[in-house]
Chains A and B, each alone.
Chain A
Amino acid sequence: MGGRLTFTGGIHPYDGKDLSKDKPIKDILPKSDMVYPLSQHIGAPAKPIVKKGDHVLTGQMIAEAGGFVSAPVYATVSGTVKAIEKRRVVTGDMVESIVIENDGAYDEVDYGEPSELSDLTKEEIIAKIRKAGVVGMGGAGFPTHVKLSVKEPDSIDRVIVNCAECEPFLTSDYRRMMEEPEKLVEGLQCILALFDNAKGVLAVEDNKPDCIAKLKSLTEGQERISVKALKTKYPQGAERQLIYAVTGRAINSSMLPADAHCVVNNVDTVCAIRAAVLENKPLMHRIVTVTGDAISDPRNFRVRIGTNYHELIEEAGGFSTEPAKIVSGGPMMGFALFGLDVPTTKTASALLCMTKDEVAAFEPSACINCGRCAEVCPGRLIPSRMADLAARGDMETFVKLDGLECCECGCCSYVCPARRQLTQDIKTMRKLALASRKK
């Protein structure tokens, strides 16, 4: 069964990728204190296993998983534990975090001998991924070992690597594919080792023809791996839209990719899986795109998790002009920051600094029922009506008309000519409805 390489709905915003796409990834070393929030993933927070005053090494576990759906956290520098306290994170929340004073020596633990994939059992592979603290690095932060522990591994027929990178301005996956495509393919092989009946698919949007060519030539002759060029459209990288584009199978929000016989992981995650399985290395780095028209030298960095955002801006040459808005992540789904004093986490894909705040530029006005929101909604909802219900507080009808199927991609707010905050209203009601459902 094949997909149509696209989905219904979606938008084509200005992609802004030219700002940063042609500059190589730069490794940076942090200068100041490192902050490691204990909740950088979906699930139970990690539990600290160090205390104030302890000396830690780079690559040493500092907090263990707080349950099955959880992930450990590792130190990414050597130094001294300065505090375990609440710190601000990108969402604006205060989260219990371990603060480490960086001694600048970068003394590293011994990761042991590299492993050969063929020597490892499936259980060993999953155990290594679990121990390494790998989580979905595309933004959701769902612990990867949970994702890979599907009930019936034999039912999985596709392992999809999400190389769509559909968010405007983001180029970290692009750079990764251009610079280290072999690592990506090795990572995919690690996942394929878990699912005997699965074929691997590298799903790339067709605005990256150079990546597609590179990955195709690299995987030539590999029977289990293929490269698929998807039509460029936001949100092609949304999990359900991606599965649909690749396989033609549509799942709703309460279903899992496994229900469509798929496992989906994004580029950074697959590379982290490779490092965990083959090199026994925990998740310590990620690629972050620092970009936007307020940044002097927009580019990608290989960042040690825990690094303060101020340092990323400095490394990118500082601000060329005063930014009107700073976003952690892409412009469609990222979090606006009210301050830069937050750490890079496992899920921080980008730091976007814009000179214009397009949201504040317009006052929302009355809905004219134009239907653009319904046209672009990948969930095939009618966002304007959902937002009306949300504004009225009518949770019952909201749920009945499937408001919970919203994936919060932001397309409706993007196109709304009345500049209504549709996504925001729907998101708020979804949170309330999901919370009341749990009770």
Chain B
Amino acid sequence: MNEKSRVSSNPHIRAGATTQTIMLAVILALLPTTAVGIYNFGKHALFLVIVCVLSAVIAELCFCLIVKKKITVSDGSAALTGLLLGLNLPPRAPLWMGALGAVFAIVVVKMLFGGLGQNFMNPALGGRCFLMLSFTRIMTDFTTDTYSGATPLALVKAGEKTDIYKMVMGTTAGTIGETSMIAIVAGACLLLLLGVIDLRIPGTYIATLVVFLLLFSGRGADYDYIAGNLAGGGLMLGAFFMATDYVTRPITKKGQYLYGILLGILTGIFRVFGQSSEGVSYAIVLGNLCVPLIEKITWPKPFGKGGERA
């Protein structure tokens, strides 16, 4: 050995997970619902998802090149944003809209604020909300060759019945990635098993929404209404894959419970009192904005704090 061996501060070993492996795990976990969506809604859905992913990646690459930042597309986060946006679009949305949404998500919501880790809002949801406000008619039209326009969530809001089997399999109207409960839950289980996410946020979110609906929807314990709300819209995809987005959720444990409760209440308000049947995207985006406040009031107490020196 020469006398100039390499030195660094402790610790000298590292765990296996990297940003890249985490992003890949989430992408992998989204593949079942992506596949079911494409199977149910056909070729156009496939093209739409591909366009979203490619636009997101290319937008980030170009941004990095133009502003001469280190190129970060290999961390997988841009691809994930594109995929999530694609899954949040109606199956017949035009391809240019997917591309526009992806570019907005990456450039405006993510890169302009400093790139990965600095965005205050989930980029995919930011992109979706932008499209919702700009192209409301297209974004709320879920009609395809196979399905008439109304999502199960819209049906139960109108007082109609739902078909649990269809919601489990995903053979209902909806965005590309939100309809199949079995596929979403399978992906969520993978992330839970890998330790990428935990149940703190999705659990409190879903539980709070159920309680809110029982108390304030005026329908009481209407089984169909509750089932349609849980499985007939964007709740499951949002709760497990978007509310859990690391960058835009509180880092404190207590804060995560509070955040879940807040999302549940906001979603309940939007769904019960709002005009639209959906409410998950806006709830999460609003929740994102409350994160700094939530962290402030839930900052943890260090080990042994408050003890007195004898």
A residues bordering B, Cβ < 8 Å? 7-8, 11, 13-14, 92, 151-152, 155, 168, 240, 244, 250-256, 258-259, 319, 322-327, 331-341, 352, 354, 357-362, 365-372, 374, 378-382, 384-385, 401-402, 405, 408, 410-411, 413-419, 421, 423-424, 427
Q: How far is the CA of A255 from the CA of B253 in the complex (A)?
A: 26
Chain A residues in 8 Å Cβ range of B251: 369, 371, 374, 382, 384-385
Q: How far is the CA of A253 from the CA of B19 in the complex (A)?
A: 32
| Cβ-closest chain A residue relative to B304 | A252
Would A382 and B300 count as touching, CB distance under 8 A? yes
Chain B residues in 8 Å Cβ range of A8: 303
Chain A residues in 8 Å Cβ range of B307: 250-252, 255, 259
Least CB distance from A145 to B in Å reads 19
Contact partner of B116 among A368, A380, A427, CB < 8 A?
Answer: A368
Would B302 and A252 count as touching, CB distance under 8 A? yes
Chain B residues in 8 Å Cβ range of A424: 8-10
Would B13 and A332 count as touching, CB distance under 8 A? yes
Would B22 and A339 count as touching, CB distance under 8 A? no
- A240-B13 CB under 8 A given contacts A325-B5, A336-B7, A374-B252: no
Q: How far is the CA of A256 from the CA of B307 in the complex (A)?
A: 11
Would A325 and B304 count as touching, CB distance under 8 A? no
| Cβ-closest chain A residue relative to B9 | A424
| Cβ-closest chain B residue relative to A7 | B303
Chain A residues in 8 Å Cβ range of B306: 252
B134 close to chain A: CB less than 8 A: no
Q: How far is the CA of A325 from the CA of B304 in the complex (A)?
A: 35
B18 close to chain A: CB less than 8 A: yes
B218 close to chain A: CB less than 8 A: no
Would A339 and B300 count as touching, CB distance under 8 A? no
Would A417 and B304 count as touching, CB distance under 8 A? no
Least CB distance from A318 to B in Å reads 10
Q: How far is the CA of A151 from the CA of B8 in the complex (A)?
A: 40
Would B117 and A366 count as touching, CB distance under 8 A? yes
| Cβ-closest chain B residue relative to A365 | B19
| Cβ-closest chain A residue relative to B3 | A339
B14 close to chain A: CB less than 8 A: yes
Best-surrounded residue of B6, B13, B302 (most CB of chain A within 10 A): B13
- A370-B246 CB under 8 A given contacts A336-B7, A427-B9: yes
| Cβ-closest chain B residue relative to A367 | B117
Q: How far is the CA of A359 from the CA of B9 in the complex (A)?
A: 9
The 4 A-B pairs at the shortest CB distance, nearest first, are namely A410-B11, A252-B304, A424-B9, A336-B7
- A331-B18 CB under 8 A given contacts A259-B308, A259-B310, A371-B251: no
| Count of B interface residues, CB-CB < 8 Å | 44
Would B5 and A254 count as touching, CB distance under 8 A? no
Least CB distance from B289 to A in Å reads 15
Would B13 and A414 count as touching, CB distance under 8 A? yes
Would A333 and B10 count as touching, CB distance under 8 A? yes
Q: Give per-residue flags for B49-63: 1 if the beta carbon is below 8 A from chain A beta carbons, else 0.
A: 000000000000000
Would A418 and B19 count as touching, CB distance under 8 A? yes
B15 close to chain A: CB less than 8 A: yes
B17 close to chain A: CB less than 8 A: yes
Least CB distance from A313 to B in Å reads 8
Chain B residues in 8 Å Cβ range of A168: 13
Q: How far is the CA of A108 from the CA of B21 in the complex (A)?
A: 60
Chain B residues in 8 Å Cβ range of A254: 309
Least CB distance from A342 to B in Å reads 11
Contact partner of A415 among B15, B19, B77, CB < 8 A?
Answer: B15
B4 close to chain A: CB less than 8 A: yes
Would A335 and B10 count as touching, CB distance under 8 A? yes
Contact partner of B6 among A325, A368, A423, CB < 8 A?
Answer: A325
Q: How far is the CA of A408 from the CA of B10 in the complex (A)?
A: 8
Q: How far is the CA of A252 from the CA of B15 in the complex (A)?
A: 28
Contact partner of A359 among B8, B299, B308, CB < 8 A?
Answer: B8
Question: Mind listing 20 A-B residue pairs with CB under 8 Å?
Answer: A8-B303, A244-B303, A254-B309, A336-B9, A336-B12, A337-B5, A338-B4, A338-B5, A338-B7, A340-B1, A357-B12, A358-B12, A358-B13, A362-B18, A365-B72, A366-B117, A367-B117, A415-B17, A418-B117, A419-B18
Would B309 and A256 count as touching, CB distance under 8 A? yes
| Cβ-closest chain B residue relative to A371 | B251
Which residues of chain B in 13-35 are interfacial with respect to chain A, using CB atoms and an 8 Å cutoff? 13-15, 17-19, 21-22
Chain B residues in 8 Å Cβ range of A336: 5-10, 12
Would B252 and A382 count as touching, CB distance under 8 A? yes
Would B12 and A250 count as touching, CB distance under 8 A? no
Best-surrounded residue of B7, B115, B117, B299 (most CB of chain A within 10 A): B7
